[in-house]
Amino acid sequence: MTKHFFSDTAALLGRSLRHITRSMDTIITTTIMPIAMMLLFVYVFGGAINSGTDAYVDYLLPGILLITIASGISYTAFRLFQDMKSGIFERFQSMPIARSAVLWAHVLTSLVANLISLVVVVLVALLMGFRSAAGVSAWLAVAGMLILFTLALTWIAVIPGLTAKSVDGASAFSYPLVFLPFLSSAFVPTTTMPGPVRAFAEHQPVTSIVNAIRDLFAQRPVGTDIWVALAWCVGILVVAYFFAMNTYRRKIS
């Protein structure tokens, strides 16, 4: 049964990845906005923001990476919605394949596409002056956290992809997720924010994730931020997976 699941997922993953290679504008679109935002904040607003670092791009990059993921996962909902409307799900149900393989193929496609987008954003940041003396273990820790965050948000994206009534409805859920880093430590230190906003910013998941990644890049002790960040990522992933699978079972029953 496990072997059957993995082979089915691999076959469906190949199908989804072929769709992306035929439509590279998906990855290009998800990288343009974060890169444009990074350029704007570094070269226009960066001189007026006191981040406490020598290069504002070093402070900014972790938040931009999360925005890249938040904008990229909307395409998972879009592709799922298209499959639901095309009737291909009904065809898959008539075939001897593991039912959950269909969703996992979309989720893993999102992971691959987002990893490519993240690499492009980091390369642009390097051209803009981003520098990190972090070792291999720190970079692996950052990569692991970004992968967890991508999986968590992708499983959230599965829900509107299965339930939306229109294309716009399938992707609209991502707008609050893209906006959330603005109410965190991603762009400015939370100490500069007014009381209620600061309280929200310091206790939402993006701040702990951004702070942990920033400390890893800067080779500073991460303290409790990394454990809080991991708890948020794993917690969101588990809850989103549970609701997504329940929604999927209701849809195909």
Q: What is the structure's pLDDT at 113?
A: 87
pLDDT at residue 133, as a whole number: 86
pLDDT of the residue at 119: 94
Please give the single-letter amino acid code of residue 176.
P
The predicted structure's pLDDT at residue 118: 94
pLDDT of residue 43: 87
pLDDT for 197-213, tens place per residue? 999 999 999 999 999 99
Nearest CA to 68 among 119, 142, 104? 119
pLDDT band at residue 153 under the 50/70/90 scheme? very high
Residue 1 banded pLDDT, cuts 50, 70, 90: very low
Q: Show the domain range for 127.
A: 2-252
**What pLDDT score was predicted for residue 52?**
66
Residues in contact with 54: Cβ distance below 8 Å, sequence separation at least 6, in sequence order: none
For residue 140, what pLDDT band results from cuts at 50, 70 and 90?
A: very high
The reported pLDDT for the residue numbered 241 is 93
**Which one is predicted more confidently, 5 or 65?**
65
| Least confident window among 55-69, 70-84, 110-124, 218-232 | 70-84
HSE-CB at 91 with a 13 A cutoff on CA atoms is 7
Cα(233)–Cα(237) distance, rounded to whole angstroms?
Answer: 6
pLDDT tens-place string over residues 29-52: 778 888 999 999 888 876 667 666
Residues 6 or more apart whose CB falls under 8 angstroms from that of 189 comprise 50, 51, 52
| Total count of domains within the chain | 1
